[in-house]
Structure 1
Amino acid sequence: MALIQQLGFGSDGWGSVLLLAALMTVALTLAALAVGAVLGAIVAAAKLSRHRSARLLGDVYTTVFRGVPELLVIYLFYFGGSTLVTTVGQWFGAEGFIGVPPFVIGALAVGMISGAYQAEVYRAAVLAVSKGELEAARAIGMPTFTVMRRIMIPQVLRFALPGIGNVWQLSLKDSALISVTGLAELLRTSQVAANSTHQYFLFFVAGGALYLLMTGVSNRVFNRAEAYVGRSFRRNFARN
């Protein structure tokens, strides 16, 4: 009974705190995925570029952020980012150490890692688009914007969506590493609750269950999105 009360939503329970921490984890992952989407699109364009220097830069980015441990990237962003902000602040007359908000550090660090994987997803999706359709569109004089809107973007979205789902799950797990910065996400909050009550097994299992819940809901959302995109693509193809 006492264990149930500790997970409850009363004054002595940690239930509401854990749920808020889970929402923080989702918000952090969404922000990181958005950062990664922008970076991934830019890097994918660079890797598909005709210019060798652009392809080289894209390869270096994906190699570094897929090869370096995620925790090391977070440490570099956390300490390096604070040092950089402090140095810039001192140029403008600020005194003392200036810390960067952990949420911002987490979104940028996990976003940079996510961007490396999303870049490969987008690159593969672009290469999967039928060249015959693009050549046919150009042959009939279809404007570039129309080609992108009616042919390229719908098919890239269709091919990339499963990979983006996998990147989301990866970023969701990587968000747990942001606990080292002190951000009250799910793992950090589970650890604080465990230390406060000395019920380590209970709260780490509860944290793991919430991660599994978020993963299960995410899988359902992405499966529905894939099914919707697939139906829309088949409907448009039949219409054309």
Structure 2
Amino acid sequence: MTLLQMLSFADTGWGMALLKAALMTLLLTLAALLIGALVGSVIAAAKLSRRRVWRWLGDAYSILFRGIPELLLIYLFYFGGASVVSAAHHWLGGDGYVDVPPFLVGAIAVGLISASYQAEVYRGAFIAVAKGELEAALAIGMGRAMRIRRVLMPQIWRYALPGLGNVWQMSLKDSALISVIGLVELMRASQVAAGSTHQYFTFYIVGGACYLILTGLSGRVFNFAEARVQRTQRRNPAQS
């Protein structure tokens, strides 16, 4: 069987399976990024807090999720989560072992890892915002909610966007680790195809090329977003 036949979208080819796996990788990474954004913003706020206990908790979160290997965290969430769900199931009178959805576990695990890096991105972006802009907004009578919505958040988004692009690329590659718990994403599909055809070198090269395409295209998207934000800032009379 030739390479084109193996990668075709026919019944005997692996093209459709790899395409579905690539879409699953994108969905998993997007879900993880959104979870990381929610948790990361809370961790960033804790690190910026004036209360020592909140700063300590934020630092502890970063140390924990940046210090433990990602694969170990995935195993802990998957098997630990299944144990907790099974114990709750038994307590309610059920029987047997209850599995947990690999996609949900993967999104949460990669998302919480992503949150530890996103927190630093948001914290740095907040520090980069010129305090004079907030003072000017306060001087013209803007309320707290309006200052956050119209002055603080656009500036944080502007400064955080390059760092978020790096976090996205990291999460996209971390999604390959979810293959160990059975989710058929790009890495898992490449493994299955390689094992079924015994063309290990070919399909691992194809899998690597697919990751390069995904990272390249997503990099272009973030570059476009950065350029668009910069043009918006230059056109804003308040910045002139």
Q: Same fold (TM over 0.5)?
A: yes
Tell me how far 1:148 sits from its aligned partner.
1.1
How far apart in 2 are the matches of 1:2 and 1:172?
30
TM-score w.r.t. length of structure 2: 0.97
2:6 maps to 1:6: yes
TM-score w.r.t. length of structure 1: 0.97
Aligned amino acid, residue 158 of structure 1: R
Aligned amino acid, residue 174 of structure 1: D
- Structure-1 residue corresponding to 2:192: 192
How far apart in 1 are the matches of 2:189 and 2:211?
13
Aligned amino acid, residue 90 of structure 1: H
How far apart in 1 are the matches of 2:237 and 2:150?
11
Aligned amino acid, residue 205 of structure 1: I
How far apart in 1 are the matches of 2:235 and 2:152?
16
How far apart in 2 are the matches of 1:237 and 1:74?
48
Unaligned runs of 5+ in 2: none
SS in 2 for 1:12: coil
Q: Would the aligned equivalents of 1:154 and 1:233 in 2 still touch at CA under 8 Å? A: no
Deviation per CA, 1:1-38: give whole Å up to 9, x if none. Answer: 62220111111100110010000000000000010000
Deviation per CA, 1:183-226: give whole Å up to 9, x if none. Answer: 00000010000000000011001101100000010010000000
Tell me how far 1:132 sits from its aligned partner.
1.1
1:98-113 aligned within 5 A: 98-113=98-113
Deviation per CA, 1:66-122: give whole Å up to 9, x if none. Answer: 111110110110111111111111121121111100000100000000000000000
- Structure-2 residue corresponding to 1:33: 33
Percentage of matched positions with identical amino acids: 62
- Structure-1 residue corresponding to 2:83: 83
1:42-121 aligned within 5 A: 42-121=42-121
Deviation per CA, 1:155-174: give whole Å up to 9, x if none. Answer: 00000000000000000000
Q: Greater shift after overlay, 215-224 or 90-99?
A: 90-99
Q: Would the aligned equivalents of 2:176 and 2:185 in 1 still touch at CA under 8 Å? A: yes
SS in 2 for 1:215: helix
